[in-house]
């Protein structure tokens, strides 16, 4: 039989197409979920919260670090980026959760802060290396993440 594809090639290409579609339907791009936004909050009646990630933070390039304010998604942090949003006055829990391929991966890091009306709070998110272990199997780095409140000056000179 003279056809463009043999039966084996046809089955192979169908399997490839089905596999790609299954992956595409199960995954979303980092930060593609809808960010929480409260239109009634603004600079006159709420606190502004700014979380930044230094551009020198080269680790975790493939990880989607999602910022949550009181368990509501407000944005994602890439190296050198920041997320800014308004929050109601009072105690607020800010959390950064790592995701890999849209799956929670690793421990979230949180900080409680007191949001004050018409004030801005600055937070710095960073990763750190605490030790490097080398051996016959290669190199392994151990470390973690930090989320801490910083001054306006630290925000202005962020690197």
Is residue 5 in some structural domain? no
Beta partners for 69?
72, 94
pLDDT bucket at 127, cuts 50 / 70 / 90: confident
**Is residue 15 a contact partner of residue 9, using CB atoms and an 8 Å limit?**
no
Is residue 2 in some structural domain? no
Is residue 32 in some structural domain? no
Is residue 25 in some structural domain? no
Is residue 88 in some structural domain? yes
Is residue 70 in some structural domain? yes
76/29 Cα distance (integer angstroms)? 11
pLDDT confidence of residue 11: 52
In tens, the pLDDT along 11-67 reads: 555 555 545 444 444 444 444 456 666 778 888 899 999 999 887 766 667 788 999
Is the model's pLDDT at 156 over the cut of 70?
yes
pLDDT bucket at 149, cuts 50 / 70 / 90: very high
pLDDT confidence of residue 112: 96
Is residue 140 in some structural domain? yes
**CA–centroid distance for 77 within its chain:** 5
**Is residue 47 a contact partner of residue 120, using CB atoms and an 8 Å limit?**
yes
- Report the CATH number at residue 129: 2.60.40
Is residue 19 in some structural domain? no
In tens, the pLDDT along 99-112 reads: 888 888 888 999 99
Domain of 65 in residue numbering reads as 47-156
18/54 Cα distance (integer angstroms)? 40
Strands (E), 6-136: 47-52, 64-69, 72-77, 82-87, 90-100, 103-104, 109-115, 120-135
pTM, two decimal places = 0.69
How many separate domains does the chain show? 1
């Amino acid at each position: 039989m003279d056809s463009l594809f043999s039966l084996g090639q046809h089955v192979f290409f169908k399997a490839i197409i089905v596999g790609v579609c299954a992956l595409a339907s199960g995954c979303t791009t980092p930060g593609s979920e809808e960010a929480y936004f409260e239109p009634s909050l603004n600079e006159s009646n709420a606190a502004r919260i700014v979380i930044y990630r230094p551009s020198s933070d080269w680790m975790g390039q493939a990880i989607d670090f999602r910022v949550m304010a009181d368990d509501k998604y407000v944005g994602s942090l890439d190296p050198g980026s920041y997320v800014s949003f308004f929050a109601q006055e009072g105690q607020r829990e800010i959390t950064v959760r790592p995701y890999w391929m849209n799956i929670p991966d690793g421990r979230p890091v949180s900080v409680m802060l007191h949001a004050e009306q018409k004030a801005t709070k600055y937070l710095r998110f960073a990763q750190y290396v605490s030790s490097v272990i080398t051996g016959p199997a290669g190199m392994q780095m151990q470390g973690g993440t930090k989320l801490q409140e910083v001054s306006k000056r630290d925000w202005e000179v962020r690197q």
